[in-house]
Structure 1
């Protein structure tokens, strides 16, 4: 090879430098960003199926941010009580919080539509649907925090110390409801609500303070509630909707590239991933309960189920009144929710 050919084929110094800069920009886009350490708060026990899903979410953020965003997950109410998790995210006690908005009746009236009885059939597509629907309302209704995503657990049922078949059977019973909306159902049917967070529920039932509880199936075992209730109405009565929210100041303190990573993990797709991991656990729990000696897992007849649907209709009216008082449009919100659930094939 002559010298002229060698010079013609050899890359110039400028070209090599440009390529190096391009490689650096593509490969380590966030290398110059300040490290961010996030505190993630989950009030369910460490062994709960939700926690590995949240950890997988955090691990993917670490990977996509080239290690500049790291997270520590604190389960089991380590950073604060379950009831306080929204305010913990607002106040920066946690950077991300797992919140059950139903623990604070009346505070998030539009979101409560998702816990109306006999509304959602499954937690997988249902989580994506609830998230996609609520994004139009979250900036106003949850303006104190940076909304990440919403999701639901697999449909829960009524579990009790005495058999409940017809709506009238709830009259006079003390019930621990999953959400304020289910609490409205209980009072509409003549029962009395007994408030407690999920970690406190077994004790309430064991002491006779409550005689029934609405709860998803797998979590009955996890919280030890299967030891204190015997009867299980095998119908998809409700789901509990949750949100995963972030402290606003923490989000604003991040670089543009880091915010982009967070945004890409605050989507309906991630809502479905997190909801699906938990759903599989709850679905397996039903079979486990049915196989345990001393438990009565029973279906309702079509006529009995229709009686329940008719009996809970006033709950929707109460929900609508709450939305109106807050200045919202309940018809628009509910029509939008039902259309989104139908689109995602997750309506009952």
Structure 2
């Protein structure tokens, strides 16, 4: 039987370890982490994702890493955030790969219609699956983690059937969603989330694919009154880090960033934001002048059948990029099923 150290010695050993850890951070040069995103500063993801992550980084680094936020496209347009991290305009950015359709074909799997039902476990599944591809597809940045949200169609008139979209102007959420709208005969309106309300109010768009809660936080509830009750699409997001900034960190600081670029954080952020977004459905249901459009099982099946060609197109695109599309999709489905996150 192994002898136990006296309590006084155990406490002394713990104090020495704590002092060593503090000493390691004391040797690190204090650095600023410029974190850029394109959401309003009071958006639910900022409150439930960005800020808790930043506070945890600062605490874990003993204050040697100070996070400074640049929200609302202050450093660049929404579609430019991946390149902003690559080029060092910001140190960490929140990027929507789907804003540059075709550039990141693998991670676009998470955008396939009716694939993901639950944003928290779905984010964990997407992140775990994508880590084996990120080093190639996003090789000019340090990949931190991926997560997603789930959304639906919000329009100026009730939409229940895929055929109703023919001739409509739709602000699509990402490249895959835009492919789906084109397949159904709609015209895509390419504007970022911050520009969407203006497009709807000016008649440039008739409907929008968007998560529930952000309809309210972006003020889009003033422009659309009908909300189709289905899990139509998901949008993928990647937190990416400038390699030059990361390489200059001390060893202890690098470990802090590595610990915060994890599958656990992907799941945490995905759940915190995704669940909050989903809660927007109940808020809109109670809001005066708004209607939640319910679908019959047959109508939902029609939507799913209409989306089937997109899966084949995704497989072909990934094959052209040099990976095995059929195998990759099967692996993603396996990850989703393991977390009970599939649609």
| Residue of structure 2 in register with 1:136 after alignment | 132
1:73 and 1:166 map into 2 onto residues whose CA distance is 42
What is the DSSP-based 3-state SS (H/G/I as helix, E as strand, rest coil) of the residue aligned with 1:232?
Answer: strand
2:18 and 2:175 map into 1 onto residues whose CA distance is 54
Q: Which runs of 5+ in 2 are unaligned?
A: 1-11
Please give the per-residue CA displacement for 1:207-259, whole angstroms capped at 9, x wherever unaligned. Answer: 11111110000100111111111211100111111000100111111112111
Please give the per-residue CA displacement for 1:156-215, whole angstroms capped at 9, x wherever unaligned. Answer: 011111222111111111111101001010011111111000000011111111111100
1:19 and 1:279 map into 2 onto residues whose CA distance is 39
Displacement of 1:22 in angstroms is 5.5
| Residue of structure 2 in register with 1:217 after alignment | 212
Instruction: Say if 2:212 and 2:277, in contact at 8 Å, map to a contact too.
Output: yes
Identify the match of residue 237 of structure 1 among 232, 236, 248.
232
Q: Which runs of 5+ in 1 are unaligned?
A: 1-16
Displacement of 1:23 in angstroms is 5.5
| Residue of structure 1 in register with 2:78 after alignment | 82
Displacement of 1:332 in angstroms is 1.4
Deviating beyond 4 angstroms after TM superposition, the runs of 4 or more aligned structure 1 residues are 17-23
Greater gyration radius: 1
1:206 and 1:20 map into 2 onto residues whose CA distance is 62
What is the DSSP-based 3-state SS (H/G/I as helix, E as strand, rest coil) of the residue aligned with 2:26?
Answer: coil
| Residue of structure 2 in register with 1:150 after alignment | 146
Displacement of 1:19 in angstroms is 9.9
Is 1:286 matched with 2:281? yes
Displacement of 1:39 in angstroms is 0.2
Instruction: Say if 2:119 and 2:275, in contact at 8 Å, map to a contact too.
Output: no
| Residue of structure 2 in register with 1:13 after alignment | none
Is 1:102 matched with 2:111? no
Q: Residues 20 and 330 (structure 1 numbering): CA distance in 2 closer, same or farther, change over 3 Å?
A: closer
Is 1:262 matched with 2:262? no
Is 1:248 matched with 2:243? yes
Instruction: Say if 1:170 and 1:190, in contact at 8 Å, map to a contact too.
Output: yes
Identify the match of residue 271 of structure 2 among 276, 285, 294.
276
Query: Aligned-pair RMSD on alpha carbons?
Result: 1.6
Identify the match of residue 70 of structure 1 among 66, 71, 77.
66
1:196 and 1:92 map into 2 onto residues whose CA distance is 25
Instruction: Say if 1:42 and 1:51, in contact at 8 Å, map to a contact too.
Output: no
Displacement of 1:280 in angstroms is 3.1
1:18 and 1:161 map into 2 onto residues whose CA distance is 66
2:225 and 2:97 map into 1 onto residues whose CA distance is 28
| Residue of structure 2 in register with 1:126 after alignment | 122
Instruction: Say if 2:166 and 2:184, in contact at 8 Å, map to a contact too.
Output: yes
1:292 and 1:207 map into 2 onto residues whose CA distance is 23
Identify the match of residue 293 of structure 2 among 295, 298, 309.
298
TM-score, structure 1 as length reference: 0.92
Instruction: Say if 1:28 and 1:66, in contact at 8 Å, map to a contact too.
Output: no
How many residue pairs get aligned? The number is 331
2:16 and 2:27 map into 1 onto residues whose CA distance is 14
Instruction: Say if 2:40 and 2:71, in contact at 8 Å, map to a contact too.
Output: yes
